[in-house]
């Protein structure tokens, strides 16, 4: 293993081994690509070939592409953060950006278990007992001048992020401790990070966040765009059911509920399958759509207004701890088990209306 941690010379020794798919002489498959840096042979990862057609919301795509422009030899590309709720289109946007620039795309799926070496170079014992060094999708993009999307970046812990600090500033290199080499990024290398803000994520340290600029925030598509997205993904869809789904999604967006375009695609896809699945006892469109809504998004999705009210109540009132008695009696009611006891300051904002509405909910059930 080499120990020199100086930036190595960029050795352009790219070896391609092309073999035909069995029975398809004209189709070539890249079996393995290797690249040598300071005597260490790195096996490259394969690019992502998924489709990435971005529909509508042109402004955010332009913003992403602007981040990746280099205007002058003194200029540097930016690594933006793409943020937004799950299923809103963050990964698709990044993929589309790479497709527009016609660069190969590599996606690294970040998780809480991602270690620095997983992000960079992993040693693998080969058949002959020798160590083979496998470059991650990120390092492959760095070497080949591709684009890397660090997907769901805030699932990754600080230690792993720390290994990327020199890559994300003017230095543009990483150091692989495992392979004992420094790996400089190709001038065409570009990167973007997608992030979700749910509970299962880590706080990214400020010195890393300051390298992940700007923040591009995705919003829900408008009615016309959402319809076009659904039509694009499900071109065989019944139009009535498609419109029902768009209507549902738009209402949910208006009420600030977290049902996403992906939820719409999934539920419409299932509804269409149910409609066509049983030719002897076909379901009505309405029944198939409703069943799919409940099975994909839960019973509560049938009443968006009520779900929205519940959500508002939870957000406003989740500091209040409720006992069983709270569901049956107002706090001032002498029959309340806690009547006469001190109430915390935090509880002051719980007024009668809120209890009434909880009682109403109970009555409904
Ligand atoms: N503007 C768009 N154009 C085309 N497809 C879209 C668009 N917006 C969302 N989609 C579709 O919605 C689905 C969800 O998108 P995607 O997986 O990119 O969301 P995400 O924000 O990355 O979600 P997560 O946070 O769960 O990873 C995909 O099928 C995607 O193709
Ligand atoms: Mg994603």
DSSP string spanning 203-255? PPPHHHHTTS--EEE-----HHHHHHHHHHH-TTS-HHHHHHHHHHHHHHHHT
Rounded distance from Cα 87 to ligand 2 centre (Å): 7
Distance 12 CA to ligand 1 centre (A): 36
Count of helix runs (H) and strand runs (E) in the chain = 12, 12
Candidates 208, 123, 192, 126; CA nearest to 160 is 208
pTM over 0.85: no
93 Cα nearest atom in ligand 1 = 18
Pocket residue to mutate for ligand 1, from 88, 108, 194, most atoms within 8 A of Cβ: 88
Report the distance separating Cα 83 and Cα 327, nearest Å: 38
**Which of 48, 58, 81, 87 for a ligand 1 pocket mutation test, highest count of atoms within 8 Å of Cβ?**
87
What span, in angstroms and rounded, lies between the C-alpha atoms of 230 and 329?
A: 47
Round to whole Å and give the CA distance between 31 and 51. Answer: 22
Number of the ligand 1 atom closest to the C-alpha atom of 82: 21
What secondary structure, in 3-state letters, does 226-237 show? HHHHHHHHCCCC
Mean pLDDT per 10-residue section of the chain, whose length is 365 residues: 36 37 39 87 96 94 98 97 95 96 97 95 90 97 98 93 96 97 98 84 89 97 98 97 97 94 98 87 88 95 88 64 50 60 45 42 44
- Output b/e per residue, 1-26; b: 16+ Cβ within 10 A: eeeeeebbeeeeeeeeeeeeeeeeee
User: Which candidate, 55, 70, 69, 176, places its Cα nearest to that of 115?
Assistant: 176
Output the pLDDT for position 8. 36
* Smallest-distance ligand from the CA of 195: 1
Closest protein CA for atom 1 of ligand 1:
55
Q: How far does residue 92's CA lie from ligand 2's centre (Å)?
A: 7
Give alpha helix (H) positions in the chain.
Answer: 58-67, 90-101, 116-119, 137-144, 158-162, 206-209, 223-233, 239-254, 261-277, 285-297, 304-317, 352-364
Residue nearest to ligand 1 atom 26, measured at CA: 86
CA dihedral (327, 330, 331, 333) positive or negative: negative
Ligand 2 centroid to Cα of residue 50, in Å, is 13
**Is 163 within 8 Å of 120 (Cβ atoms)?**
yes
The confidence score (pLDDT) of residue 74 equals: 95
CA dihedral 263, 264, 267, 272 (to 10 degrees): -150
Residue from 59, 92, 98, 193 to probe ligand 1 pocket by mutation (most atoms less than 8 Å from CB):
92
Query: In 3D, which of 273, 245, 275, 272 has the Cα closest to residue 261?
Result: 245
Tell how far CA 66 is from the center of its chain. 21
- In this prediction, residue 27 carries a pLDDT of 36
For residues 168 and 191, the answer to whether their CB atoms sit within 8 Å is yes
What are the residues whose beta carbons fall under 8 Å from the beta carbon of 136, sequence distance 6 or more?
Answer: 45, 108, 118, 119, 120, 121, 122
Binding-site residues, ligand 1, Cβ < 6 A = 53-57, 84, 86-92, 194, 196, 221, 229, 233, 261-262, 265
Burial (CB count <10 Å: 0-12, 13-18, 19+), residue 188: middle
Query: In this structure, which ligand is nearest to the CA of 218?
Result: 1
């Amino acid at each position: 293993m080499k120990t020199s941690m100086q930036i190595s010379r960029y050795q352009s020794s790219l070896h391609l081994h092309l073999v035909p798919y069995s029975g398809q002489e004209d189709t070539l498959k890249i079996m393995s690509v290797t690249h040598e840096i300071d005597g260490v042979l790195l096996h490259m990862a394969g690019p992502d070939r998924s489709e990435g057609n971005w529909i509508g919301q042109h402004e955010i795509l332009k913003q992403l592409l602007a981040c990746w422009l280099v205007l002058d030899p003194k200029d540097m590309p930016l690594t933006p953060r793409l943020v937004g709720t799950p299923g809103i289109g963050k990964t698709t946007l990044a993929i589309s950006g790479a497709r527009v620039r016609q660069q190969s795309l590599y996606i690294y799926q970040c998780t809480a278990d991602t270690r620095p070496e997983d992000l960079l170079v992993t040693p693998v014992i080969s058949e002959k007992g020798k160590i083979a060094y496998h470059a991650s999708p990120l390092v492959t993009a760095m070497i080949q001048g591709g684009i890397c999307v660090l997907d769901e970046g805030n699932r990754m812990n600080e230690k792993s992020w720390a290994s990327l600090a020199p890559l994300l500033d003017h230095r543009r290199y990483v150091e692989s401790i495992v392979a004992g080499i420094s790996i400089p990024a190709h001038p065409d290398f570009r990167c973007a990070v997608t992030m979700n803000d749910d509970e299962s994520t880590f706080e990214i340290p400020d010195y890393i966040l300051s390298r992940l600029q700007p923040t591009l925030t995705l919003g829900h598509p408008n009615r016309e765009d959402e319809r076009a997205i659904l039509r694009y993904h499900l071109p065989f869809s019944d139009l009535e059911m498609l419109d029902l789904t768009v209507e549902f999604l738009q209402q949910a967006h208006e009420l600030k509920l977290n049902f996403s375009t992906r939820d719409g695609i999934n539920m419409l896809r299932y509804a269409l399958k149910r409609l066509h699945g049983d030719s002897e006892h076909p379901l009505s469109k309405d029944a198939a759509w409703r069943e799919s809504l409940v099975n994909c998004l839960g019973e509560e999705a049938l009443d968006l207004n009520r779900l929205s009210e519940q959500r508002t109540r939870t957000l406003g009132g989740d500091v209040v701890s409720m006992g069983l008695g709270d569901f049956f009696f107002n706090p001032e009611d002498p029959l309340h088990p806690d009547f006469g006891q001190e109430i915390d300051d935090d509880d002051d904002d719980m007024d009668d209306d809120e209890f009434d509405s909880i009682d109403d909910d109970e009555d409904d059930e």
